[in-house]
Amino acid sequence: MKLLVTAATILEVQPFLQFLDHESQKVSAHQYRLANCEIQVLIAGIGMMHYAYSLGRYLATNRPDMALQAGIAGSFRREWALGSVVMVDREYLADLGAEDQDQFKDLFDIQLWQPSQAPFTGNALVNTFANLPYRPELPKATGVSVNMVSGSTPTITRLESKYMPDVESMEGAAFHYACLSENIPFLQVRSISNYVEIRDKSKWNIPLAVKQLNDELISVVKSLASLT
């Protein structure tokens, strides 16, 4: 099995990289072999522009059997404790569009895109989890991808009323779009580092989120390696 593991930053997957350094055979920089599983780690950069470019460049010359995105996220759901790990099954591009007075209209609203044009389902990028060799037992989440992390009541209210999201990131939609377009089975796993609210980093717990994320990531990769 050829597995692509991708993240926006090294910080988010550093414990996973340490696990690979100790438990797998290192083939080259960011390329490993665990049992019969070939693992490529791609640090794709922060934000949809960097992520789409890095991932597109990689997929132009490589075709993994499965792609796995790992990262931290903000949560709209207070019932999910910080450090909770979820898998995102649908993504919305939540700030690509136009302002019309005090309203935001996405590209579907202004008819520059048509609902269910490939690779969208309606106006969402939906992962059906088809053809995945392994799927962890994690809560499913709806994600919004943004270029500007939400930190004001009007923005948060708009996102909640328009998309009913569970989590927010800056790269999820780029990952879903690429994998759906290339018909590559994929999984997006995220841990909750903070709640989506008026910005106050003193309330965040990034170390806990990174630990929980990497514990799950290592578990998933071990399970995949045992299947091959």
| Digit-coded pLDDT (tens) for 83-94 | 999 999 999 999
Beta bridge partners of 189: 70, 87
For residue 101, the model assigns a pLDDT of 87
Instruction: Write the burial class of residue 35 (CB in 10 Å: 0-12 exposed, 13-18 middle, 19+ buried).
Output: middle
Task: Name the band, by pLDDT with cuts 50, 70 and 90, for residue 228.
Answer: low
- The Cα-based distances of 48 to 14, 45, 212 in angstroms read 21, 8, 24
CB 138 within 8 A of CB 166: no
List, in order, residues 6 or more apart from 137 with CB less than 8 Å away: none
Tokens of 32: 């490993």
Question: What pLDDT does residue 151 have?
Answer: 84
* Residues of the chain above pLDDT 90, percent: 94
The values of phi and psi at residue 2, to 5°, are -100, 115
Question: 25-38 pLDDT, tens per residue?
Answer: 999 888 999 998 99
The whole-angstrom separation of Cα 219 and Cα 138 is 12
Question: Is there a contact between 125 and 108 (Cβ–Cβ < 8 Å)?
Answer: no
* pLDDT tens column, 110-127: 999 999 999 999 999 999
Q: Positive or negative, the Cα torsion across 165, 166, 169, 171?
A: negative
Work out the average pLDDT over 141-157.
Answer: 94
What span, in angstroms and rounded, lies between the C-alpha atoms of 50 and 157?
A: 28
Q: Is the pLDDT of residue 223 over 80?
A: yes
pLDDT in tens, 16-66: 999 999 999 999 888 999 998 999 999 999 999 999 999 999 999 999 999
